[in-house]
Amino acid sequence: MAEREAEKIELQLDVQVSEEFVDRVPTDLLRKLIERALANEGMGGRVEMSLVVTDDETVHRLNLTYRGVDQTTDVLSFPLQPAPGKKGRRFLLPPDEVLHLGDVVISFPRAVEQAVQYGNSLEREMGYLTVHGALHLLGYDHRLRAEREQMREKEEAALIDLPR
């Protein structure tokens, strides 16, 4: 029996970058990494999500408004679909319908700081935060040690060819 060929991902990615950072954000690379992370999860078809790269103040405000946490953070994810195994169910989509995953918001200043702190290139840190956020949209979490380890493996699989 022949193996079925994996369905190609058609990613509709809405990228919004604050004007002050636009020349430093590798959007083509980030798109490639999201596509790889989704493909690694066996996803195919038409998938839509947004990626926002902004300042600490905006991320702080979103974190306070939507999570009740009065501080900035490096990345926020706002899933539009319930996570598998969690309360609720993903909608069954007709063929050729777009699966709307949600939004990922990254603090560019935090990414710069963390790149230095962890000895990464800015591209690697931005890639890591982007993939991390995308995995959250798919329902992955890192509250428990086993979840953290699983998520870290999936992040590294997407970042495999990206030098530090």
Per-residue pLDDT at 1? 37
Q: Which two tokens stand for residue 13?
A: 């990615």
pLDDT of residue 87: 45
What pLDDT, on the 0 to 100 scale, is given for residue 163? Answer: 82
**Residue 22: per-residue pLDDT:** 96
pLDDT at 107: 98
pLDDT along the chain (164 residues), means of 10: 61 97 97 96 92 98 97 96 54 72 97 97 97 95 92 95 84
Could you give phi then psi for residue 158, rounded to 5 degrees?
Answer: -75, -30
User: What's the confidence (pLDDT) of residue 164?
Assistant: 81
Q: Report the pLDDT value the prediction gives residue 4, as an integer from 0 to 100.
A: 39
Domain ranges of the chain: 9-84+95-158
The Cα 61–Cα 72 span in angstroms is 8
- pTM for this entry: 0.89
pLDDT at 111: 98
pLDDT at res. 151 = 95
- What DSSP line would sit under the chain, residue for residue? -PPPPPPPEEEEEEEEE-GGGGGG--HHHHHHHHHHHHHHTT--EEEEEEEEEE-HHHHHHHHHHHH---S--SEEEEESSPPTTSSS-PPPPPTT--EEEEEEEEEHHHHHHHHHHHT--HHHHHHHHHHHHHHHHTT---SSHHHHHHHHHHHHHHTTT---
Class of CATH domain 9-84+95-158: alpha beta
